[in-house]
Amino acid sequence: MKFKYIGFFIALLCTAVSFGQIKIKGTVKDKANVPIPGVNVLVKGTSSSAATDFDGNYVLNVPNKNAQLEFTFVGFTTKVESIGDKTEINVILEESSQALDEIVVVGYAAVKKSDVTSSISSVKGKELQTMTVGNVTESLQGKVSGVQVTGVGGPGAQPRVLIRGISTLNLNTDPLYVVDGIPMGTSINFLSNNEIESMEVLKDASASAIYGSRASNGVILITTKKGKVGKARFNFDLSSGMQMMNNPYNMADAEGYATIMNTAYNNSGYSDYLPNPSQYRGKTTDWWKAGIRKASPVTNASFGVAGGSDKHTYAISLNYYNAESIYEVGGWERVTMRIANDFKFSDKFSAGITLNPRYETWGSPGNWADFDKIDPITPIYKPADQLTGLENEYSIYARSPSYVWNPVAAVKRYDDFTNQYNLNTNGYLQYEPIKGLVIRTQASIEVGDKTQSIFRPDFIIDAAHEKAEINSVERKNTTNADWTWQTTATYSRIFAEKHNASFMVGSTMEEYNANDVWGYGEGVPNNSDLMRELSAATKNRNSSGTSWSSSLMSYISRLSYNYDGKYYFTGTFRRDGSSKFMANNKWANFPSASASWRILNEGFMESAKDVVSDLRLRAGWGKVGNQGLPDAVYQSNIGQGYYVIDGQVVDTSYPSTMANKDIKWETVEDMSFGIDYGFWKNKLSGSLEYYQKKTKDMLFLKQFPTYSGFPGYSTMWTNVGSMKSSGIDLLISFKDKKGDFSYGADLTFTTVDVEMISLSADGEKLYGSSNRTLTVKGDEPGYFYGYVADGLFQNQTELNSHTDEHGTKLQPYAQVGDVRFKDVNGDGKIDDKDRTKIGSPWADYNIGLNLNFAYKNFDLVANFYSSIGNEIVNQNISDLYNGASLTNKVSGLEQMAWHGEGTSNYIPRLSKDDNNENFTKFSSLYVEDGSFVRMKNLQIGYSFYNKFGLDKLRLSLSGQNLWTWTKYTGVEPEVGAGDPNNGDRVKGSGFGGWNYPVQPTILMGLNVAF
């Protein structure tokens, strides 16, 4: 019975509350009397809120007539209205007088855009979410001037990001990513683009010097979404579609292959390789169809809730991303969660904590090129009469005489997957003891566990060439435990109404610890899934393990000052101490200074303010460092080797790396000059900036000379030479609105010019990529270095006239139709001295064009990106055009290759022997124009507001990488860096081949908010 009374009391209380509330309705419009959908209407001091529908209407219950409503919308000035006796409140929102009122994140602080004196570009998370990508940096492509993003195909691949060119030859060139104030290294594969509120790119040293030794390649600051005061708002995003994989080449069928190979054999004086090609008509093995999927699914989903009160706000999101590979196995799957809580205990004390658990798994075969390279005559499986019935499931495949391993069989055997778990915890405490003084301490801890498991089954496809007579199992486990702690004190004050000053001091500490354990074994009793464990191995067991750590301690300070909103100055200073250096060079100082003059606020500009809405001049200078070399390079290391002596395998040791106690910081000194402008209330706005940065004491891994007494493969880290990068950044932005129609366009334009100023010795040459690139003083680093292919010999007269002054042929083994190599130095012979600069991997210009349109409920975005002026080495030319190998060739090659005077001046004659070294000499034959224009994204959407019981429902259709224009005949014009393991990250740039292409993708999207 007592429960009835309780229920009656609750009902009575709810009725009383409802009677006490006041129902308020109204419409929100802009100055042009156009309704504004999506405006947030909040009852101040509560979590009660509503959003306007497409017609700008809202309805909201308020507790009493003393309440106030707060109207907020991005790009408009916030407005507050008191209730009083009103039941209908209609509001006109004014556009923000200037975009300069926006808040921009800088190092260890957030400031108004108008107070920024350095080169910083900001991109809002909404702009990044129009694309479905695994790594959010791919969405930056073309959106920020001065930033070059090179897409890399394949699930889980990380794009290459260069901010204003390169500043180092041998170390990592990626920028530092700082997420919510915590340095996270050079990869953000763990972060979903749906979690991002904004990204700020610190492009010059005056902006990034506050990060000192981590900032030589630039810094990208990422702010994740936080809770906002108001009722709980739920959001669900889903995009799902297919990534397309079309064969980049039209390969020969079986009959065409036989014809091509017979031509090559006949041209070299041999009989047919495959007599009577017509016998293969209709008998082509379609390897591509057998092993490569035309479309592979990709899914990106996110569910979040955010809200809170004046005392506590929260944001929780769960994100899922999955991109399957182009094979029947493999891909990349990621699950992330972010839980952010912010507490305001009083006007003086606040705190917050964010938890970010995540899980990833990845692995994919890398042999897609073999599906084109293997000959089309060999069947996928062995004929039945060649099977004995004793073969295991991996031994039933046929072997190709082309020596390309059966790719279908290789995919079937593939078992190499990595699982990774991470948990990052980031918390802060903030205290304001007196007005203007803010003390903040922030700490982060991240723990991770990564396990790579590999199993290689035993098989015999061919007893001589394609086999693994014993299976093996391998496992590597790496764990890490990293922490950072930073404390700052900032005091801000306005003096005499016109003097605005802010001073910050602080310290940071970072420590990174990791260890790994590796195990290997052979002879697992069988290849079943359950037996693929280390403990099941019966032979040749081996194991190893190691651990490593590094730490960094820093002191930071910044002074910001502006007078009357006209003259601005910012100075920073950071002192870093790194465990990677010895005592004499452990500490380094990184200062910076920048200033700006906001001309618009001068009295003489008063009459121009109807037209000019922003006009500023900026200048900046600073120093940043690079300590991205391995830990403890000041120590000598001993390597292990194995030699056979008297028929016995003997373990040996040798000095692999030598200590250099004098190693010191690599330093980049940067200066920039810029102008920011805006007209007609920033309908037209942008910036133009010139920059120059010089790198000194470059960290370089050099080999010991043989006369030193150490083995030739012994190496030592040292500081070598200097280089310079310079160029301009241009941004032009236009936006306007006419009634229900709004539109905008952003154009970004960047130039980069890189030059080596000095090396360790005059005349020194640094080779890269198997001596195919060269770096010398006075030229750009890593340019392509080889022979000049000066067309083809079209007739015997041309061949006979290619001689020295005595009539001796320069190419004695050449025949008509072969490549004519140029005698560059004119010494009457073709040798190594004729190698010269034959191309550059560095683009002259990078251009981005971003368009957006909206009409009523429809919206459209289109993004284009272009790289102009670089060359690419197309390493596939040998595979596709060289008759000396038995791999498959492009269809119709016998007609494309030279087969008579005038038939070709590019593709040499087909030859089985290639005595002229048409393809074995690295020459300009391989170098092609790498310029391209790509439609990066095209998306159209339609939104419903306050329909179906939802605040918003948006449907979209998008296409990514749909169209590319280029003269490059290779697989993919977006070519990444070289092999960092060989010190060729920069010196090996620009080499294209069978790299995984950036795939066209078609996606359907759904966004629900309630």
Residues carrying CATH 2.170.130.10, the chain: 103-226
Write out pLDDT tens, residues 921-935: 999 999 999 999 999
d(CA 649, CA 646): 9
When pLDDT is cut at 50, 70 and 90, the band that residue 642 belongs to is low
Rounded average pLDDT over 808-819? 93
pLDDT for res 20 = 54
Pick 636 or 256 by higher pLDDT.
256
Nearest to 168 by CA among 219, 215, 235: 215
Q: Quote the distance between the C-alpha of residue 880 and its chain's center.
A: 30
Q: Are 65 and 43 in contact (CB under 8 A)?
A: no
Concatenating the DSSP letter of every residue in 21-40 gives -EEEEEEEE-TTS-B-TT-E
Whether the pLDDT of residue 483 is over 90: the answer is yes
Reading phi first (left if > 0) and then psi (alpha if -120 to 50, else beta), residue 230 is in: left
Pick 992 or 978 by higher pLDDT.
992
Q: Are 292 and 371 in contact (CB under 8 A)?
A: yes
Pick 14 or 1008 by higher pLDDT.
1008
Write out pLDDT tens, residues 69-79: 888 876 677 88
| Extended strands (E) in 137-213 | 147-150, 160-163, 176-179, 182-183, 196-202
When pLDDT is cut at 50, 70 and 90, the band that residue 853 belongs to is very high
When pLDDT is cut at 50, 70 and 90, the band that residue 3 belongs to is very low
pLDDT for res 955 = 93
Mean pLDDT, the chain, integer: 87
pLDDT for res 737 = 87
pLDDT for res 11 = 47
pLDDT for res 75 = 66
pLDDT for res 64 = 84
DSSP three-state, residue 436: coil
Q: Hunting for tokens 């290294």 — which residue is that?
A: 185
Rounded average pLDDT over 198-214? 86
Could you give the dihedral angle defined by the CA atoms of residues 115, 119, 124 and 130, in that order, rounded to the nearest 10 degrees? 160
Q: Residue 480 burial (CB < 10 Å; 0-12/13-18/19+)? A: middle
Could you give the dihedral angle defined by the CA atoms of residues 693, 697, 702 and 704, in that order, rounded to the nearest 10 degrees? 150
d(CA 163, CA 8): 67
pLDDT for res 19 = 44
* H-run or E-run covering 267: helix 254-267
Q: Which of 108-117, 131-140, 826-835 has the highest mean pLDDT?
A: 826-835
What the block records as the tokens of 460 is 């015999």
Q: Which residues make Cβ contacts (< 8 Å) with residue 306, sequence separation at least 6? A: 225, 226, 227, 228, 232, 233, 235, 313, 314, 315, 316
Rounded average pLDDT over 557-582? 90
pLDDT for res 13 = 40
Whether the pLDDT of residue 7 is over 60: the answer is no
Whether the pLDDT of residue 16 is over 50: the answer is no
CATH class of residue range 21-95: mainly beta
When pLDDT is cut at 50, 70 and 90, the band that residue 772 belongs to is very high
Residues carrying CATH 2.60.40.1120, the chain: 21-95
Sign for the CA dihedral angle at 262, 267, 268, 270 comes to positive
Three-state SS across 792-856? ECCCHHHHHHCECCCCCECCCCCCCCCEEECCCCCCCCCCHHHCEEEECCCCCEEEEEEEEEEEC
Whether the pLDDT of residue 975 is over 70: the answer is yes
Pick 742 or 134 by higher pLDDT.
742
Write out pLDDT tens, residues 692-730: 999 988 887 776 655 555 555 567 777 888 999 999 999
Whether the pLDDT of residue 979 is over 90: the answer is no
> Can you name the CATH fold of 103-226?
Ferric Hydroxamate Uptake Protein; Chain A, domain 1 (2.170.130)
When pLDDT is cut at 50, 70 and 90, the band that residue 2 belongs to is very low
3-state helix, strand, coil in the chain (%, to 5): 15, 50, 40
pLDDT for res 8 = 46
Of 295-309, 319-333, 635-649, 744-758, the range with the lowest mean pLDDT is 635-649
Q: Are 117 and 106 in contact (CB under 8 A)?
A: no
Write out pLDDT tens, residues 40-71: 888 887 777 787 877 788 888 888 888 888 88
Concatenating the DSSP letter of every residue in 495-509 gives ETTTEEEEEEEEEEE
d(CA 383, CA 314): 65
Q: Residue 427 burial (CB < 10 Å; 0-12/13-18/19+)? A: middle
Q: Are 923 and 807 in contact (CB under 8 A)?
A: no
